[in-house]
Structure formats: structure tokens, C-alpha cells
Amino acid sequence: MICPEKSYFLRINSMNLQRSSGILLHPSSFPSLDGIGDLGPQAYYWIDFLKSSGCSIWQVLPLGPTGFGDSPYQSFSAFAGNPYLISSTIMLDEGLLTPEDLSDRPTFPDNKIDYGAAIEWKLKIIDRAYQNFKHDPFELQEEFSNFRKHHAGWLSDYALFMAIKETQNGQSWLNWPELFRKRDPNTLREFSEKFHDLIEQHEFRQFIFFRQWLNLKKYANKKGITIIGDIPIFVSMDSADVWSNPELFYLDDTGRPTVVAGVPPDYFSPTGQLWGNPLYKWAEHERTNFDWWTKRIKSTLIMADLIRLDHFRGFCGYWEVPAGEPTAIKGRWVRGSGRAFLDHLKTKIGDLPIIAEDLGEITQDVLDLRDSFNLPGMKIFQFAFSDDARNLFLPHNYINNCISYTGTHDNDTSLGWYQTAPEKERDFIRRYLSTDGSDIAWKMIDCVWSSVAVYAIAPLQDFLALGSDARMNFPGRAQGNWCYRFKSTDLTPDLAHRILDLNKLYNRIPAINSQPLARPVILYEEP
């Protein structure tokens, strides 16, 4: 059952992290016959691989439904799951699909994701499963009913939003007819009656996603694997969140943003970065006791044990750009409500299971906010060599309460970084690691693992010593991101053994049950 009458979920107590290690990999990167990684057999093999390698952490990117550009950081909902990750194999095993339903499967590339083709196919087979379910609901009918009831706080608006979007040829809600944009009650009621099955179809997709993901998470936790999830600070403009909660954002009378998110010009970008996300009316969030944010955090803690809070500095102060500006140059810093929010959140869930993504131009007030809640920050090894020995990203300057990475999804692979870095940085790292540059990815992993950081994490691409063609994301590039997939032959026993030796060497295998679990947290009350 996904949602019993009263659901309890255990979460990791972030104040008692034990020295451990892990791998960063999004589920979309798994091998699969359906063109995109999914939550089927390969995901379970991945958990077994982590266990055999001595790793006890799996870090993923946001798990929400992706929109234009296929970015996990631009989702149609801050609460929903990505239906493209649903496994056809599991649906086949459970009788929701028949072999005939999969007989017209196209042939997909095995080393990258062709999103257009993969999405078309995945939605086709999920909708076939829905039709099969409608004609013969099996024992899942009660489970589906419970799921809809316990997730109604976000699911109803999300399914309605997606159904309207589908009837509007996928257009942004900003381009919908006015009565839909402004959520006219009579219009929405008439639509819900007319398109009842379409709305239910989107609810069913969420039901199957959560069912598969929570079963996988349960398997991982039983194996001693902690899952680190990810929350982008901002939500997509074209999302059910903004459409159904316009009062929480700076919007004009037509629903369009008056100011948008970005970051100011810096050494790397003379015009800054114009993200375009709508900005929060923090005063309204405070007035409502951060209800929307609290629900968002609790919802994510259903799917993950710890949360990486992206762009943490934005909770302290964020860069506000007037809507319509072509770049992020003409903006201003505006104070956020991070301390009030985190104080409130702590009263709701206790010690905060949060990792602060404290990268970028960080000021003292951001560090003070992070440290006052004892949140671990992030250290990126690739950032360490543009300066001198005082660089805080060099492992000899680390503190214990941080998470060390060779690189993240936004960086090049370690090999790719080394091959393209300025010679001054290449010389620095060769001297720092006492290496001639051969096997550089593993040398970097070794150094990060040996550090005092409580967690050491590297992308799978670094363990496979892959170059820039395996990079997950290139910030600022609109297309061609998020496509990396590994092959089933990549996860060899030799690789697991090599990682295991590293974890033993640097004492990164926590004792059984050494990561204490906090008291149960009630995420759903009796309806």
C-alpha cells in the first residue's frame, strides 16, 4: 500500500551523519529498452551494485515531471513524479500490461536519451496500462483510491492542470483562454466533468510512479542505502504550482511575472544568468506560516531521506530582475525569508535533513544561516585549482560537516574538466595529487574520499573515467542536456571491488545501523 489510513515515514537525522560515500546518478541514466532509464530491474541492480561497492548513498536529481528542455530543474510540479521513469517491465509483471502492449516498441539508442521518441513511447504504454486498469482494476483499485485521497492536496490541481494543458496542445498556461488562466470555478467544473477520464489518467500516472519509486526506495533503505533528493529553490513558471497558487508569487493581473529569478554578472558570465522563474512573495509565505513550502519539504521526504536544497543562498538573498529584461544585468539583491522559514520548518519536522547547496557568490550572511542550523555545505574539487593553497575547495581546507564532490551534474566530468582546464590549473592539480595526469578521474576520487568531509560523492561518469561527451548538463546551453545513459556492461564486479577497496581504505563504510533514524514523522493525518 502506498497510502495507509495514517502514513508514517522514517527519515535520516541530519545531525548524526556518519562517514560514508556515494554516487550521483539520475534514474533517467539507467539502461532500459524503452529509451530512458526507469525504475525497473536495472534500478534494483543499481542498488545491489552500490551495496557491493561499500557505498551507502545514492544522490539523484529532482524527480518531478519535466517540461521544455527536459530539465529536472524545470518541472510541471514541485510535488508530482516523473512518469517517464515508470518501468514497463514492472507493469508487465503486475499484469497492467500484456506482451502485446509492448510488441510495437521502437528501437532506441542505448548510450543517450532521445527524449522526443522516448516520451511518446512511454506515455503510450502507460496509457495502455491505464485502459487495462479501467477494464480490470484488480486489487489496485482500493490502493489507487487511497493514493488519490491522501495526495489530493496537490494531485487534484496537478492532474487538472496537465489535462487542460493537453487539450491546449501543450501550451504554457499563460497562453490558455482567460477563464482557464484565472481558474474560473464554473469553467473548471465543466472541464472536469467533460474530461474526467483524462484527469484520472494523469492521476493514474502519478499513482504508478509513486508506487514504483517507493518500492525501490524501500529496497534501497533495507540495503542500507540513503537517498539524497534535490529541491530547486524556484519553480517553473509553467507549473501547476504557480497556476494554482498565484498569490504566492509576484504576478500581474494576467498571471505573468513582474520580476524573475537570476544571478548577477560575475567572472564567468558578464551578463549574469537570467533563469526566468517567478519569484516568491515571501511576506505571503510568512503570513501563511510557510504552509506551501512545508508541504513541499514533507512531500520530498516521502521520496528521499535527505534533501539537497539547491541555490541555498537564495533563501538569504536573491537576485531580482524586472520581467522583460534581456539579461540579468539590471537586477537587485532582495532579502529572503530563509531564517524564518527554517525556524518554522524545524518546529514541524525537528532536525533538518538538508544539505545546503552553498555554491556561487556566497556572503557571510549565507554562511551564518547555514551554520546556525548546522547544515552541511558542498565542496567541489574541480573548483579548487583556479586559486592558491588557501582555496576552500581544496581538501586540506575542508571541515567535517560538508559533502565533498569531484563534480556535480552541472560540471564537466573530471576527465573532461582536466582535458580542457587551463594549463595553470592542470599543473596545480598534478602537483597536488602527485600524478602525471594519467587516470586523473580516479586520482581525484581518491583525494575526495580521503578528505575529512562526512560524505564523499562522485558522479558515476567519474568512476567510469568518461570524457566530456558523458556530461549530464551544460548550464546555459538550451538543448542536448540530461541525455547521458550508461550501459549495463559498465557496472562490473571489478568496478565494484575497486570502489569497495577505496571505501575500506578511507573508512567510508558505516557500521550496520550506524546512521540513526529519527522518530517517525507524520506526513499525512487522517483525512
Residues acting as catalytic residues: 310, 357, 410
Grid cell of 231 as nine digits = 529541491
What value, to the nearest 5°, has the Cα angle with vertex 518 and ends 313 and 523? 75
Per the DSSP assignment, residues forming a β-bridge with 257 are 251
d(CA 471, CA 411): 7
Quick one: which H or E segment has residue 88?
helix 88-93
Output the 3-class SS for 302-315.
HHCCEEEECCCHHH
Grid cell of 442 as nine digits = 580516479
- Sign of the alpha-carbon dihedral angle for 193, 199, 201, 207: negative
Q: Exposed, middle or buried, 452 (CB in 10 Å: 0-12/13-18/19+)?
A: middle
What value, to the nearest 5°, has the Cα angle with vertex 15 and ends 14 and 17? 65
- Please list, residue by residue across 390-409, b when 16 or more beta carbons sit within 10 angstroms of its beta carbon and e when fewer do: eeebbbeebeebbbbbbbbb
Classified as helix, coil or strand, 318 is strand
| 332-335, strands of its sheet edge to edge | 273-278, 259-263, 317-322, 332-335
d(CA 296, CA 179): 27
d(CA 244, CA 251): 13
Output the 3-class SS for 357-377.
CCCCCCCHHHHHHHHHCCCCE
Cβ atoms within 10 Å, residue 139: 6
Block residue for cell numbers 535520516: 12
Do residues 379 and 403 lie in contact, with contact meaning Cβ atoms separated by under 8 Å?
A: yes
